[in-house]
Amino acid sequence: MRTLWFKVLFDAMEKYFVPNGSIVRTIWGRSDTVLLVFAGSAAEFALNTSVDWLYYTGRLPADPIGRLFSTVRYAQAIIYSPLDRALGAIDQITAIHGAVEKSRGARIPDSAYRDVLFMLIDYTIRSFELLERRLTEEEKEEIFDVFYGVGSRMGLKGLPESYPAWELMRRDHLEKNLANTELTKDLYRRYRKSLGSMRYAILLGGQSLLVPAKVQRLLSLSPAWWMRAVVFIYRLTRLVGLDRVAKAIVLPRAYKAQVAALDRATL
């Protein structure tokens, strides 16, 4: 009994990078919202003018779905870990990028780092609002603050210091840093190969509901009316506890365990 009491007291005193009760923990603790975050980000990754950096190691084009889960593991390590371990995870990300830069003999542009950070902020908001409800301005500020903390720890320069400032810079980045290139087309071919025709169609449908208008235009994504119906039906499955069955049908079987591991909303 005494051991349990000390554990409860220690847990209460332990600091986290993202505190308990944060809206960020809620959003990133559900596999469906996390998968939507990366569905939207997958579209912008393909269009980003620095996408060649994602090709340099060969890992993303070789296994785009596996790379997604690898990225999610780092994100959740930051969001759900005690402060020291979360900072260690961020430092490890910085070190990995530094090693790639050293190998290539060039620096990843600061704008590319900011673009990725901005995607995570934007699609964290868009994904939750698509499946759940509108976020308050305070909740959006909280999401921004978490990812600002990540960027600050990584030593990124030129970060906006508030959510309204981020909104302005985000629009500017969307206008200046996106282009449909041969690498865009190649990455989408690899998405299709990894997912198969049906799941690829669902990916495109989900992206059409999530991404900003500029991304829609560059990728020729028409808003899919049928996907809105799919989202509505999926929300119903959540109400009756059948959402895991729905995800098992839609997602590749090889990633079933990894998808289940994303559900951490109660932590």
Mean pLDDT per block of 10 residues along the chain (267 residues) reads: 38 74 92 89 91 77 77 86 92 91 87 91 96 95 95 92 96 94 93 89 92 95 84 80 65 70 61
Q: What's the Cα-to-Cα distance from 251 to each of 31, 140, 146, 150, rounded to whole Å?
A: 11, 29, 29, 30
The DSSP call for residue 178 is B
As a whole number of angstroms, the distance between CA 215 and CA 175 comes to: 10
User: Which pLDDT does position 87 carry in this prediction?
Assistant: 93
Distance in angstroms (rounded) separating the CA atoms of residues 144 and 178: 22
pLDDT of residue 223: 78
- Identify the CA nearest to 23 among candidates 15, 14, 33: 33
Q: What is the pTM of this model?
A: 0.88
Tokens of 93: 């990300």
Are 28 and 76 in contact by the 8 Å Cβ rule? The answer is yes
Q: Residue 205 and residue 123: Cα distance in Å, rounded?
A: 15
State the pLDDT at residue 86. 92
- Given this model, what pLDDT does residue 145 score? 95
pLDDT of residue 89: 92
- Report which secondary-structure segment, H or E, holds 219: helix 213-219
